[in-house]
Amino acid sequence: MAERAIMKGNEALAEAAIREGCRFFSGYPITPQTEILEYLSWRMDEVGGTLIQTEDELTGLHMAMGASIAGGRVLSTSSGPGFALFHEGLSYLTGFDVPAVIVDVQRAGNACGDIGASQGDYEEVVHGGGNGDSQFIVLTPGSVQEQVDMVAEAYELAEKYQNPTIILSDAILGQMMEGIVLPDMKEHDIDALDIPAIIRPLDENLSNPKRYYSPPLIGLNAYAEIWKNKWDIIRETEQQWENVQVADADVVCVAYGISSRVCKEAVKKARAKGIKLGLIRLKTAWPFPVKAFEEVNPDVKGYLSVEMNIKGQVVPDIKLAIKCAKPVYGYFSIVDVHDSDKVIELAESIIAGTAEEV
């Protein structure tokens, strides 16, 4: 039965994966997500699963791909520097329609960067992450409980669309402890999935030379059309968001993850002062929740993108969603979490017409 617990975000996510039937993990330790690997190093053994600490992230994701092809629910996790090494594997997962759940617990800076919190992998995960036309479903939890809940959702989406699904977390959500409700234990049954025979693992012995995994040999142009159609369906049907008091807002914050929690506090404090501030919280980064903006006050004075990076990586998606009909402003920082009072101060400057657009 469902169980209540107080757990660190990384460990809660790992336990949720076990309870959703994940029996294979391969990956490499990197701060701030190492607790996922550490937790699974003993927990996976308890449920008869397999954990492999690989020599690098590249190998880790390719091993997970093989286990998924064999019919298992798999998990591989990393942070920014390691996620950069996932690109080849992500392209193969997309190109061969292989379901997998990948977690990026973001940290600050380029290259090795810093172990502090950041949301600097948004562009890479949402608009990059592999050569060609690779595209991934990207979920953005805003609490430890939501990390737990989104594990189940990630597996369901990955299997429904035969597409890799990424949970885009951050160092603070990974390290913080909160009260949660864990799901019941489940066992994965691939035979219960309604998926095409061409992308089902064969049951023959491994020595059978016909045991392989390949997309239909119909030509790249034809198969690219299949991918496009699939992604069009995802884009239309899988957008997720939470709107907070946007119907009458003069300024609407747009945020995800830990930044959205600061914005929720800012909305509450601003409303108490008579300032009409609202929030669009992204629960999916891809598909980007364009429909959320349809609920916003048509006379809104502007949008404030609150992100833990220095480029404003979500800003282009906001501008596309609103077709540049309203100005977009930014509050960007890395390592340090945003200040709710600063959010309110910026909102007031937007209302006054003194803020600078990005």
Q: 297: buried, middle or exposed (CB in 10 Å: 19+, 13-18, 0-12)?
A: middle
What is the predicted pLDDT for the residue at 218?
64
Q: Sorting pLDDT into bands at 50, 70 and 90, what band is 217?
A: low
Is 200's pLDDT higher than 80?
no
What is the predicted pLDDT for the residue at 335?
86
Average of pLDDT values for 203-216? 48
What is the predicted pLDDT for the residue at 149?
98
Angle between helices 9-19 and 144-161 (to 10 degrees): 40
Least confident residue range of 44-53, 177-186, 200-209: 200-209
What is the predicted pLDDT for the residue at 211?
40
197 vs 241, more confident: 241
Is 85's pLDDT higher than 70?
yes
Average pLDDT, the chain: 92
Looking at 76-170, list the stretches that DSSP marks H as alpha helix, in order from N- to C-terminal side: 80-84, 87-95, 122-127, 144-161
Is 55's pLDDT higher than 70?
yes
106 vs 198, more confident: 106
Handedness of CA 94, 195, 169, 22 (dihedral sign): negative
Please give the model's pTM, rounded to 2 decimal places.
Answer: 0.94
Looking at 128-256, list the stretches that DSSP marks H as alpha helix, in order from N- to C-terminal side: 144-161, 171-175, 220-237
What is the predicted pLDDT for the residue at 168?
98
DSSP class of residue 201 equals P
Share of the chain above pLDDT 90, in %: 79
CA 269 to chain centroid, in Å, comes to 28
What is the predicted pLDDT for the residue at 238?
98
Q: Sorting pLDDT into bands at 50, 70 and 90, what band is 198?
A: very low
Q: Does domain 241-352 have CATH number 3.40.50.920?
A: yes
CA distance 138 to 131: 17
**pLDDT tens-digit map of 302-311:** 999 999 999 9
72 vs 207, more confident: 72
CA 128 to chain centroid, in Å, comes to 13
In contact, 247 and 295? CB cutoff 8 Å? yes
Least confident residue range of 55-64, 105-114, 164-173, 330-339: 105-114
The domain locations on the chain are: 3-237, 241-352
**pLDDT tens-digit map of 114-169:** 888 999 999 999 998 888 888 999 999 999 999 999 999 999 999 999 999 999 99
Quick check: do 3-237 and 241-352 share a fold?
Answer: yes
Q: Which CATH superfamily is domain 3-237 in?
A: Thiamin diphosphate (ThDP)-binding fold, Pyr/PP domains (3.40.50.970)
CA distance 336 to 333: 7
Share of the chain above pLDDT 70, in %: 93
